[in-house]
Amino acid sequence: MLTNISCNQNNRENRLLSESEAPFGAPEFHLYEVSDYLEAFEIGISDKRKEIKAIIENTQEPTFENTIDALELSGRTLDKVSSIFFNLNESDNTPQMTEVENAVIPMLTELNGYIFMNDSLFARIKALHEQKSELNLNEEQEIVLDKYYQQFVRGGALLNEEEKARLLDINTKIGLAQIEFGNNLLADSKEFKLIITDEKDLSGLPQDVREAAKDAAKAENCEGWLFTLDKPSCIPFLQYADNRELRKKVYNAYYNRGNNNNKNNNKAIIRRILQLRKEKAELLGFETFAHYMLDEKMAKTPEAANELLMSIWEPAMQRAKEEAKALQEIIDAEGGKFKLEGWDWFYYTEKLRKAKYSLNDADIKPYFSLENVLAGAFECANKLYDVKFVKRNDIPVYHPAVETYEVLDANDKHLAIFYADFFPRVTKRQGAWMTNYVNQLNMGCNEVRPMVVNVCNFTAPSGNTPALLNIDETRTLFHEFGHALHGMLTQTHYPAVSGTNVKHDFVELFSQINEKWAVAPEVMRTYAKHYITDEVIPDSLIEKMQRSSCFNSGFETGELVAAAILDLKMHLIKDYTNFDCDRFENEIREALGFIPEIEYRYCSTNFAHIFSGEYAVGYYAYLWAEVLDCDAFELFEERGLFDAETAASFKQLLEMGGSKDPMREYKRFRGAEPNATALLRERGLIKE
């Protein structure tokens, strides 16, 4: 018996297993206890098995309704428990939650094996797939049927019994290894603390950064100023701290997370995951794991993904070398007797930005309070898609800092619930993301609207000062809100293709294009107002921001593309026997001509996207989608940022989820093939 997570034995009602009494059936977080989860998972899995067994044992000939519809409607309890648990495990993790996760991953893997390796169930789906043209299905149903067929094939349905058993074992081991990777990364990140007690070591840091560090120290019951590896803490330190040795310490700690030769080291786990992924791909008939993953994406092949990345890499590195030269010139002019290093880049970039554009974060942030930025994102959605957001105080939340909103359409019809969780916690992993607590469903008499959450890590309010965002954080809020809109506006029937359940390299289109409204001058004037005076952001400041929009683009593009190439190349290897991620990173760096002053956006040991998330062989998708979003936004610029016809046409892309062919529908919207040069124009990497 797992003592910390034993099932509820005190006869208390497990509210995870009963209907919610909250508005819209929202999760009742305040009524759940950690001890509830294992019991709820066990019952949810048992119910799902019974429902699948009923489909398998149905003596009638397979039809779309008695097979695919039945599969889509199965496992409602398990879906509920999984959505709540895995979301909370990312944003409010505890050791007890991790223990539950380690217990349920093998259970869920075994359930997937029972479903996707079941010969009788696959036979029903295969029969439907072979007669698809005769079933009079609409496009959404055809796509759902194709998706199930491929899911079964990729889940091992065509393997023999010995191979199925091995694949099931591989999937279990991968799942547990990914949990271990994520836990190590979180632990290593939390272990670093830079405590400054001599105020001289704060030289260069803006007042708001100092105050946040002072608050952080108080929260930890220590004297002085505390800096951590959370981005709102470490990035400003790298940008402004005059103390070069302390910058080096923070920089190395950030990029070496998971690679400190301690109990949290991720190198052996990476090799284990890569080896297991390779074996899985080969079992399923693919040359490498990269080929396996890309087969179901828009890119289709490693060659196509690599071609895109290399087309961006060359101009990015050329620009980065120019940027490095300019930064070295500042160092030399100041009498610095050292060569530019990675821990200098952020610091001297801020100096150059200020000298070149008379611009720094201290000028910008007072106009971008979190409250105003969120209101700006809401207003853009209202103008574009005729939706509005109403604050609700009667919907349960899982932390006091979380806010909830009801989303309504133009006729005040309920569309969704939106949760906003914006501030760092020691129990929350780093980064920013969107997920669903409740998925959309519209089948027969079952109609469920989605409940969507945005999770970010912005600097919290301090004293009388509200949370103030820099321009990158402002873009992040709009980015994640773009994902949220994709989830909230969905109008499909089947959960398999609702919301963000689209091809992986299509999903970022909706988040990345939404960023563009955040920084459009006419939009900024509507929401960027000084948090004290309520003064609208001056045109002179907007002009400076516009002129500096491509500043440092070589660095920003280079670190992103390098990480995407690392992800792709790492999964093309055919023998991991002697694989060492440090050595491999250096080999890729040398082959690319990647300048040493810039680091991969994520080094292997802290690359959570690919080793504990869903982005393995998928990090390139940000750039693949950027081709689409830059091209699409140019149409808005031509016709007007809030042109009703263009917005209505784009809204169809948001609403369709994965129920239609994405490239066909994109070309319908755009009227032409996507233009890849739009990305290079946007990043200022080509001149026309």
Write out the catalytic residue numbers.
Answer: 480
CA end-to-end distance (rounded Å), the chain: 68
Which residue is associated with the tokens 């997920």? 435
Amino acid residing at 443: M
Torsion of CA 600, 602, 603, 605, to 10 degrees: 180
Residue 301 to residue 188: CA distance in whole angstroms: 35
Q: Mind giving me the DSSP string for 180-203?
A: HHHHHHHHHHHH--EEE--GGGGT
Contact call for residues 605 and 257 (beta carbons, < 8 A): yes
C-alpha distances out from residue 285 to 66, 177, 306, 336, 448, Å: 31, 23, 22, 57, 38
- DSSP 8-state class, residue 612: T
- Long-range Cβ contacts of 89-92 (<8 Å, 24+ apart): 90/428, 90/429, 90/433, 90/435, 90/455, 91/398, 91/399, 91/421, 91/425, 91/427, 91/428, 91/429, 91/453, 91/455, 92/398, 92/399, 92/425, 92/427, 92/428
Please state whether beta strands 403-408 and 388-392 pair in parallel, antiparallel, or not at all (unpaired): antiparallel
Q: For the chain, how many residues are written?
A: 688
Contacts of 471 (CB under 8 A, 6+ apart): 361, 364, 368, 519, 545
Q: How many beta carbons lie within 10 A of that of residue 175, not counting itself?
A: 19
Residue 675 to residue 618: CA distance in whole angstroms: 21
Classify residue 389 as exposed, middle or buried by CB count within 10 Å of its CB (0-12, 13-18, 19+): buried
Angle at 409 between CA 405 and CA 410, to 5 degrees: 130
Residue 133 to residue 142: CA distance in whole angstroms: 9
Could you tell me which of 258, 249, 260 has the C-alpha nearest to residue 341? 249
Residue 143 to residue 138: CA distance in whole angstroms: 9
Amino acid residing at 545: M
- Segments in 192-262 forming alpha helices (H): 207-219, 231-240, 244-255
Task: Please give the radius of gyration of the chain, using alpha carbons only, rounded to the nearest integer.
Answer: 25
Contacts of 13 (CB under 8 A, 6+ apart): none
**Side-chain-side CA neighbours of residue 661 (13 Å):** 7
Residue 8 to residue 11: CA distance in whole angstroms: 7
Amino acid residing at 87: N
φ and ψ at residue 674, rounded to 5 degrees: -65, 145
